Chain A
Amino acid sequence: MRVSDQALFDLANQRIMRARSDATRAGDQVSSGKRIEHPWDAAGDAGMAVRHQQESGRQDGIFGASSRAADELRVVDSAMDQVTTSLTRAKELAVQLANDTYNANDRAGGAAEVRQLVSAVVSQLNLRFGERYVFGGMQDAAPPFDAAGAYLGDANVRRVEIAPGVLQDASARADVALKGAGGGLDVLQSLQNFVTALATNDATNIRVAVQELDDGIIQVSRERSRVGAMMNVFDVASNMAKQNRDAASDARGRLEDIDIFEASTRFAATQRALEASMSAASQQFRLSLLDKL
């Protein structure tokens, strides 16, 4: 084939430009670690990468929510443990002071201790986690119990997403556990009754308090068990969400990220190709009849 000088130079130019473009792209991929930087690098994979990105974000949100719910429930459980401890101490006092060997003065002293226990229980039940009162249902902006132990919250249970579209109860029912909503025992009222019985040296009602406090401890423990079960659910949910998030991130990474060995090899190959095209061009340019005549 007849080769014109312009064709010679144009061809060399095109080959060098193409080789340089390939080498630059391979270099970009090696330095960025990304196989897909733009949608057109691999359109289908780019679309899937967006889906994985969204799924990773969604699972991360669920992981965060589940973890926070589990943390909050741990604080709730700890508070209920303190309440149980106070009730247990009150029951010990009731058993002790029900004995006829104790007189009015002894029982008045017991009443003072039980009043402090009531205050401690109310204080525990007005616990805040972050900016909210955890025992008030959805009325969480103000303390759910007043000093007398009256419940000011509501009967709602907060629910948190543990999987896309799946909600799980995430709060304790203080109205059920302590106030006997739904047919249970009003534990705080029982404590107040116990204080009155002690103050009035009423041995009969002190004996009644023994049984009521025992029932109250069981009632609080039952709610604590529910909280424990919820904590387990959220622990499992957060683990699953974390795994799902990591799986989605890995899937995205597999689509987007380069295989460093393959990319490095390709980078070296494109550099060689660039060198070869430059050498070939310079050799072709060197030979000319102009130098021979």
Chain B
Amino acid sequence: MSGLLAMLQQGASSLQAHSAYSSTVAHNLSNSNTVGYSRQRAEIAAVSPADRFGSAYIGNGAVLQAVSQARDRFLEAQMPGAIGREMASGTEAQTLQSINAIDLDNSVAPSLSVFYGQLRALAQNPGSSNYREAAVGAATQLALSFNRSSQSLEGARAGIDQKLEGRLPEVNEALAQIANLNSQIRQARGTGGQPNDLLDARTRLGDRVAEWTGATPVPNADGDLNLTLSDGTSLVAAERAAVLSVLPDATNGGHLRLYIQKPDGSVSKPLSTPPGGELGGLLAARDGALKTAQTQLDQLAFELSGAINAAAVAGYGLDGGTGRPLFVTTATAAGAASSLVVNAAIAADTSLFPAGSTTAPGDPGAVQAMIDTESQNLSNGTTASGSLARITAQFGSTTARAASMNEGDKAMLGHLDGMRQAASGVSVDEELVNMQKAQRAYEAVTRVIKTADEMLNTLMSIKP
């Protein structure tokens, strides 16, 4: 009789185990599309110890031993770095590819060409009001092209600042959540369980932080997810998180600089090296190709206008006046492209255009000297058109490099993600088979309980 009762008890325990197995399968199926979810397995084991009857052992059925996660630690360790690299190169490439100020038909080059063309026409007829108007118009167009290109680059850099500032609350929130999850996971583990969904949530957040900052996990003995940047700066240390912030940097045109208050709560300091991930990509674009192009445009505008002005101030207008520059800009190269304008007096009265090297109305000496600047080398050892070609090629090359790196990073991330999915992802087909398996086992155990019940009834129906 006690054996039959034990059978019933075993049945109940086994039903529970197979029910848990089914629930785990159902959980997996429900999360088959959840990003960062790792499939779980209900591990069913035989109950031990078995009961001993004489020299034999009779088993006590099955019990749910654990619900574990399918994770490949090797892959998991590589994922954040790959995510950060892909995001950094992708963000840089995407940001640079959104700029059209350096495009061939949209840059300063066509205006520069038209400007010199109009100077040549004016040199043939320096007294002509028509050609003077056209030359001043072309000079204005050239100045506007410099303004527009420079402002477009500066606008892009300012846009990056806004994006940086807008992203930080999310980053800080994620860092705080990871620190909090570290605490919760420690507590859950203290009770002997494995908080799989909390682990998934923490991994997901870790991946997000890697996307934004390129931070990678540093394992510790307590099973915390500690995150550090590439230079070792800690973002999360156990149950404490760093706080990122931005402040304008006067040495970089007032653009924002990243500051960090480390997890130990120390005073906020500038980040010594740029982060990776999206923030790194944004900073690389802002302070790399965009800044270089802007600086080169400023230098070109400054030197070109300086060379033209040198010829202009030596020239004479039709009124006999001299000493007038054609362009007005800043005293140094910084900001020259964005502030370049045609001398207002000349723009208002083109007869003041200093075309001649004498007061003779047909003297094109000063215009010819301006035309000669087209062939003069600037401080970078090349002409103005050579400088534009260099700016175009350098910007294109940096953008293409970032895009090409992103292709490689994307392929690497895709490969790792595929491997991770292979190890941890949910296969609906597989889960359906497991569901069938659990259902069969559940039915079989039910049959065992029914059989035990019938056997007990049979036993109870024996009349003494």
Contacts and interface: CB of A to CB of B under 8 A. Distances in A.
B254 interface: no
A139 B360 contact: yes
Given A51-B386, A136-B362, A40 B124 contact: no
B396 A47 contact: yes
A57 interface: yes
Contacts of B183: none
A50 B387 CA distance: 10
A53 B106 CA distance: 12
A3 B103 contact: no
Contact of A50 (B39, B124, B372, B389): B389
Interface stretch (A98-106, A113-121, A159-167, A181-189): A159-167
B149 interface: no
Q: How large is the interface on B (under 10, 10 to 19, 20 to 34, 35 or more residues)?
A: 35 or more
Between B100, B120, B426, B432, the greatest number of chain A beta carbons within 10 A of the residue's beta carbon is seen for B120
Contacts of B114: 57
A42 B396 contact: yes
A69 interface: yes
Interface stretch (B278-286, B413-421, B448-456): B413-421
Interface string A193-234: 000000000000000000000000000000000000000000
A139 B127 CA distance: 9
A137 B432 contact: no
Given A11-B418, A57-B117, A139-B360, 11 more contacts: A39-B396, A40-B96, A44-B393, A47-B390, A49-B104, A65-B123, A130-B130, A131-B129, A132-B125, A141-B361, A156-B362
A30 interface: no
B429 A289 contact: yes
A53 B358 contact: no
22 contacts: A5-B33, A5-B426, A6-B425, A7-B421, A39-B395, A39-B397, A43-B396, A43-B400, A47-B389, A47-B393, A50-B107, A57-B110, A58-B385, A60-B117, A64-B117, A65-B124, A72-B124, A130-B128, A131-B127, A140-B361, A161-B123, A289-B432
B204 to A, nearest CB: 13
B121 interface: yes
A158 interface: yes
Nearest to A255: B104
B91 to A, nearest CB: 15
B116 interface: yes
Contacts of A3: 421-422, 427
A112 B427 CA distance: 115
B399 interface: yes
A68 B390 CA distance: 33
Contact of A158 (B120, B362, B375): B362
A156 to B, nearest CB: 7
Contacts of A139: 360-362
Interface of A: 1-7, 9-11, 14, 36-44, 46-51, 53-58, 60-62, 64-65, 68-69, 72, 130-132, 136-141, 154, 156, 158-161, 164-165, 167, 170, 256, 288-290, 293
A223 to B, nearest CB: 18
A218 to B, nearest CB: 28
Interface string B264-290: 000000000000000000000000000
Contact of B130 (A53, A60, A131, A170): A131
Interface of B: 32-33, 39, 96-97, 100, 102-104, 107, 109-110, 112-114, 116-117, 119-121, 123-125, 127-130, 318, 356, 358, 360-364, 368, 371-372, 374-375, 385-386, 388-390, 392-397, 399-400, 403, 414, 417-418, 421-430, 432-433, 436
A133 to B, nearest CB: 8
A113 B426 CA distance: 113
Nearest to B387: A50
Contact of B393 (A1, A46, A56, A130): A46
B120 A167 contact: no
Given A160-B123, A288-B429, A1 B422 contact: yes
Contact of B97 (A7, A40, A53, A68): A40
B62 to A, nearest CB: 25
Between A39, A49, A58, A165, the greatest number of chain B beta carbons within 10 A of the residue's beta carbon is seen for A39
B120 A161 contact: yes
Contacts of B112: 54, 57
Given A50-B109, A57-B114, A165-B372, A158 B96 contact: no
Contacts of B389: 47-48, 50-51, 54
A30 to B, nearest CB: 19
